[in-house]
Amino acid sequence: MRHALVFGGTGQIGEPLIDRLRNGGWRVTALSRNPQRDEPGVTWLQGAFDAMPVLPAQVEAIISCGPLDAFSHWYARSGPGAPRVIAFGSTSVMVKQHSVDPEERDVAQRLQLAEDRLTTAARERGASPTILRPTLVYGAARDATLSRIARIAHRVRWFPLPRRANGLRQPVHVGDLAAAVVDCIGATGAFDQAFDLPGGETLQYREMVRRVLRVLEPPAHLLELPLPVFEMAVRIAQSRGIATGFGDAAIERMRRDLVFDATPARDAFGYAPRAFAPKASMFPRAG
């Protein structure tokens, strides 16, 4: 039976990935910082990158669905033998590279360094690395963008955006990302490559938010405000502890297209993400 070692298996991408691996006949060893319950085909180990338990000596694939930085440091100094190593990065590596916010530029730089560190370490160990860079992730009611919007909209029944929030987006479902991992494990065209993984539909930011608000129970309304009024609303919300960490760079990006090409991933391992058709169950409930 093929054996995979999975990091970040309790995350929004990791959970559907473990299901897919198990359903595909893989044996999974997964690491979590917290105790987890074993299931048929899945053995959980408790530990962390700086407190690693005893791991299997050899597996077919090592997969990271958690922080790339920490994983790449650990993999560069240790880890079992494995012909394949697959890790999630982020399209933020490009999007935030030239941000007006120095903290965002730092995120992009750390992601780039982590990608390079992982790729170099894998090559030195004779393994084939694949880096997967999702765009805006949704689907498990745990993402940092649309679920956050849904949570606020549930509370106040509307959600504000600045006018002309027309930048293009490609939200990608967690299930399509899990499928991408499994499909690229044995696809030789994916070896030693990095792939952008956008969703299957490109739409304007405001339309993306509108679709989310429409499926909430009860539905919420989109309120489009002049930019200065929107900025003031954000400042008021932040003074009450809402929308914290939402800075000028994020507001500027709503009018900017963030579009990535799925063709290389499609050609290499048949990547075919779904269109954006949100349902209430994909977002946190009110309360």
* 140 Cβ contact partners less than 8 Å away, ≥ 6 residues apart: 12, 15, 16, 174, 282
Interface positions, 137-166, toward ligand NAP (CB under 6 A): 137, 143-144
Cis bond before residue 218 (omega within 30° of 0): yes
With CB under 6 A as the contact rule, the residue among 14, 16, 129, 139 that binds ligand NAP is 14
Q: Does 10 bind ligand NAP (CB under 6 A)?
A: yes
Under rule CB under 6 A, residue 67 binds ligand NAP = yes
Q: Rule CB under 6 A: is residue 48 a binding residue for ligand NAP?
A: yes
Q: In this structure, how many other beta carbons lie within 10 angstroms of the beta carbon of residue 51?
A: 8
Nearer to ligand NAP among residue 8 and residue 160 (C-beta): 8
Residue 199's CB is within 10 A of a number of other CB atoms, namely 26
Q: Which is nearer to ligand NAP, 220 or 258 (CB)?
A: 258
Contact assessment for residue 24 and residue 182, using Cβ atoms and an 8 Å cutoff: yes
Q: Which is nearer to ligand NAP, 143 or 176 (CB)?
A: 143
Q: What x-and-dash track marks residues 181-220 binding ligand NAP by CB under 6 A? A: ----------------------------------------
Task: Tokens for 155, please give them.
Answer: 């509370």
Residue with the two structure tokens 């269109």: 275
Q: Which contiguous run of DSSP H or E holds residue 239?
A: helix 227-239
Binding positions for ligand NAP, rule: CB under 6 A: 8, 10-14, 32-34, 48-49, 65-68, 70, 88, 90, 134, 136-137, 143-144
